[in-house]
Amino acid sequence: MKRITTILAIILTTIIVGCGGSKQSNDDLIIVDVTKSYPKKELILQNILDVEYILLDDINDEFITHGRIAHIGNEILLGRNRNPAGDIFVFDKNGTGLKKINRQGQGPEEYLSMLNIILDEDNNEMLVYGISNGYKITVYDLSGTFKRSFANEKFLSPIFNFDWGHLLCGDDEFEFFDERQNRYMIISKQDGSVIKEIQIPYKEKKMRRIINSSGRTVFDGPGNQALIPNRDSWILTEISSDTIYQLLPDYRMIPFMIRTPSVQSMDPEVFLYPSVLTDQYYFMQIVEKTAIRTETEIIYPRRDVMYDRQEKSLFEYVVYNDDFSTKKQVSFAFEVISLGMPFFNNEIAFWRRLEAYELVDAYKNGELKDGKLKDLAATMNAESNPVIMVGKHKK
């Protein structure tokens, strides 16, 4: 721990005082003070990313889905439904429906429930993660033909396609046990065996959940995604650690970002979560472990912060979608409850689902500028499938 503290002290000396203390000289390792206020900046989504809109096929009722996109690949989109809950939809990259699959049941080649779907285009497979006498991964080809299945003891979330033979997973039950353990692991796609546990050093384990004086969990705590893809690598956040790491395809793990003051010194804690990462901007959220209950929801105070790699400065930000004539704000937060994850396509930085009824209202009210989104909205009704807004890295 002494060595880590020394390294941190050396890094902090590289910070250049200026712009309210946000100016930095080290572009490779960013220091974020989660207690500081930063200058504000407004950005236009289309200046940051190339934006595409995909209207999911709803020519016939077979492909009507009120669920969500489960995975976006290079050529295939996988969707899932909530009612009936066992439906899987295969779309091409333009949103055309290719196949509707439902293998829900209690048989050895079926899934009893469906918690997640992982697309594996390299092997022409999809892996359905669900509950069936414990946790189980059932593997099908993209036509729905059963290939294999294997049990898993842990509740895995999130799950990403790491390479042709492995998955990168988070242990979702990590938050509910006090003992030290590793949050992330790489497992085999063939049998679920753990190939590698990823060790992130920390002093004392911190948890998102808020516990009262009797030891009972009263709030789940802020739920931002702690594992996000970044082109051909992954960004790993362990809230007990002051260092956020980048995991490379060869399993090497290098420091990516450091937060200060130490999370170990804070009560209540303040967490830092990276989200959308582009060539110029690193977007992130600063979230307090404090629950505010309203009549309709529980709010965890959050600030949206970005690091500008050209200016080498930190800012608070707001992003607007320029395809709206009104100031339509876009969230870059990868919250667990959001509909912007997962994907693993090196071109994609993020995606969001735009609800049909909202687009129909925007079109009727003259809030859409001329372009692809307006053209799509003109063909929709309130019961149409949603439009998928995809933000791709600029070439």
* pLDDT tens digits, 88-115: 999 999 999 899 999 999 888 999 888 8
Higher pLDDT residue, 299 or 216?
299
**Maximum mean pLDDT: which of 10-19, 47-56, 347-356:** 47-56
SS3 at position 225: coil
- The percent of residues in the chain predicted with pLDDT above 70, rounded, is 86
- The percent of residues in the chain predicted with pLDDT above 90, rounded, is 56
pLDDT at position 225 is: 85
Examine the pLDDT at 3 and tell me if it is beyond 50.
Answer: no
Q: How confident is the model at residue 16 (pLDDT cuts 50, 70, 90)?
A: very low
Q: DSSP for 237-250?
A: --TTSSEEEEE-TT
Structural domains of the chain ordered from first start? 1-62+210-395 (no CATH), 65-199 (2.120.10.30)
Q: How confident is the model at residue 216 (pLDDT cuts 50, 70, 90)?
A: confident
Examine the pLDDT at 192 and tell me if it is beyond 60.
Answer: yes
Q: How confident is the model at residue 83 (pLDDT cuts 50, 70, 90)?
A: low
Burial of 255 (0-12, 13-18, 19+ CB in 10 A): middle
CA distances from 383 to 96, 125, 153, 380, 390 (A): 17, 31, 39, 8, 21
Closest CA to 121 of 377, 344, 387: 344
Examine the pLDDT at 20 and tell me if it is beyond 50.
Answer: no
Q: How confident is the model at residue 21 (pLDDT cuts 50, 70, 90)?
A: very low
Question: At CB < 8 A and 24+ separation, what contacts does 259-267 make?
Answer: 259/31, 259/32, 259/33, 259/34, 260/8, 260/12, 260/31, 260/32, 260/33, 260/34, 261/33, 261/34, 261/35, 263/206, 263/239, 264/202, 264/203, 264/204, 264/206, 264/240
Which tokens is 79 given?
């969707």
What is the average pLDDT across 187-194? 94
Indicate the average pLDDT of the chain.
Answer: 86
